[in-house]
Chains A and B, each alone.
Chain A
Amino acid sequence: MKSRLIVSASPHLHKDESVSRIMWMVAIALIPAGAAGVFIFGTGALRIIILGVASALATEGILQALTKRKVSILDGSAVITGLLLAYNLPPKVPFWLPIIGSFFSIAIGKQIFGGLGQNIFNPALVGRVFLMASWPKYMTTFTQPLRAGAGFDAVTSATPLAALKEGKVLESISKWDLFLGLRAGCIGEVCIFALLLGAAFLLLRGYISWHIPVTYVFTVAVFTFIFGSRGLFAGDWLFHILSGGLILGAFFMATDYVTSPLTYKGQVIFGIGCGIITAIIRLWGGYPEGVSYAILMMNAATPIIDRYTRHRVYGIK
């Protein structure tokens, strides 16, 4: 007779979630920002996004087949990496830049460590920093939104943060324009409204927790308010939040499950660390923007944060 007593280890209650489902949800949450980027910068941006995602998928599939592992290009993680990498590129880069970037992200940033869940650094940011160090000419040439350059294919322009770094006064650009994304910048980072839409979806569904993004953005705000260019306690903190890749980084890249701390306490430390490094690079560093470097540096610190914020197991000192 078949035994009807089922013996199994806890947990006994399951939610209908899987890694791949969460990954696809994050990819869906990224759609509004990409759509806004395409709307603002034109179809050239769409081409970059498609190339980035396609080559990320191809690299993942080919490498997994070569190393005789299970080919898991449909689990959504490579799609996110490709999307995030493309979102971090200026809208007028040559077509091979997203391809090489995605290849580097997946091959060096992820598969070399053993695939999904094993990587130390956020793959998309690894790719972006590689491109930034290799072809700075293309990575720092930004164009104006389509509407501003009426009659031309594209009008190059500095990003608000780069202009700030050069000491220019930024009266011409309003906070409302920054919020809607009507400024020069990377494809996916400009439209704060669309990014917040996607982030709200992820937060409400519980796919990401508020700890990293909120502490990150808050720390940047406090730092830029205190030490901003207009003197102590008079910085334009709202400008710093709305410009650059802070919102994209804080909600979609710093919250990467693999490379961020496990506990809430650790996540708060992670967020504050990211915020401090970002603010330092923006205010005193050589680069106008520091979000990617800040997140990568804190990625490196994640194992040690995890070690010191481990939950105390009940019954053990």
Chain B
Amino acid sequence: MKKFFNEFLKGIIKENPTFVLALGLCPTLAVSISLINGIGMGIAATFVLLGSNIIISLIKNIVPDRVRIPCFIVVIATFVTIVEMTMKAYSPALNRALGIYVPLIVVNCIVLGRAEAYAQKNSVLNSLFDGLGMGVGFTLALLLISGIREILGAGKVFGFSVVKGFEPVFVLGMPSGALLVIGLLLGFFNLLKNRKI
């Protein structure tokens, strides 16, 4: 059990997809403008990661090596379609806010990266926990970035104003602010990593 727990935990800190592996930065930059978007994107990606990791580790022995990428993409696209349709049915506002970035999870490099680097080489249970850990790590990273951007950049938390008279740092709500925040956080996590060793 401890082994599975470690598989889960590594995605959150040691191999955090955003801050350590630096994967999936385009959706992170694009959707991290508000906490709601961050959570929505994180949950959608976690679901896709979980599903695709399980299926891919199940079919890893019957898929010929030369056509594995197209096969992975088909599996991933299936789960993305499920997510998109669910989101459209139950949360159309979130779907509108995330826009093109939901279907683009198909080519999200975290998902394909985990399929390629992990799920096709490891057992189903390991892959399950790996996918879950990576998804949660991605969600936490998105929450951190979008939290900073929403609180400082718009003066709001989940769309509600918090401090009266606070003049938001407008630039953090813009794409350049996303790059700035991610860059500073990447540097900060590198600092933490280097301190420990």
A contact set with B: CB distance below 8 Å:
108, 112, 130, 133-136
Contact = CB atoms under 8 A, between A and B. Distances in A.
Given A130-B171, A133-B171, A133-B174, 9 more contacts: A112-B187, A133-B170, A134-B168, A134-B169, A134-B170, A134-B172, A135-B167, A135-B169, A136-B170
A112 B186 CA distance: 13
Interface centre among A108, A133, A134, A136, by most chain B C-beta atoms within 10 angstroms, is A134
Contacts of A134: 168-172
Contact of B176 (A108, A112, A133, A136): A133
Interface string B160-171: 000000011111
Interface SS of chain B: helix
18 contacts: A108-B180, A108-B184, A112-B184, A112-B187, A130-B171, A133-B170, A133-B171, A133-B174, A133-B176, A134-B168, A134-B169, A134-B170, A134-B171, A134-B172, A135-B167, A135-B169, A135-B170, A136-B170
10 nearest interchain CB pairs? A133-B171, A134-B171, A134-B170, A134-B169, A130-B171, A135-B167, A133-B170, A135-B170, A133-B174, A133-B176
A70 B173 CA distance: 35
A108 B176 CA distance: 14
Contacts of B187: 112
Interface in B120-177: 167-172, 174, 176
A135 B169 CA distance: 7
Interface of B: 167-172, 174, 176, 180, 184, 187
Interface SS of chain A: helix
Nearest to A132: B171
A280 B184 CA distance: 32
Contacts of A133: 170-171, 174, 176
A199 to B, nearest CB: 32
A135 B153 CA distance: 11
A92 to B, nearest CB: 15
Contacts of B184: 108, 112
A128 to B, nearest CB: 12
A130 B184 CA distance: 15
Nearest to B180: A108
B179 to A, nearest CB: 12
Nearest to A67: B191
Contacts of A108: 180, 184
Nearest to A131: B171
A130 B171 CA distance: 7
A108 B183 CA distance: 11
A110 to B, nearest CB: 14
A138 to B, nearest CB: 8
Nearest to A94: B167
A108 B180 CA distance: 9
B132 to A, nearest CB: 35
A133 B169 CA distance: 8
Contacts of B176: 133
Contacts of B167: 135
Nearest to A97: B167
A134 B152 CA distance: 11
Contacts of B180: 108
A134 B177 CA distance: 10
Contacts of A135: 167, 169-170
B45 to A, nearest CB: 30
Nearest to B153: A134
Contacts of A130: 171
Contacts of B174: 133
B195 to A, nearest CB: 12
B149 to A, nearest CB: 12
Contacts of B169: 134-135
A131 to B, nearest CB: 9
Contacts of B168: 134
Contacts of B172: 134
A134 B168 CA distance: 8
Interface centre among B170, B180, B187, by most chain A C-beta atoms within 10 angstroms, is B170
A129 B176 CA distance: 12
B104 to A, nearest CB: 27
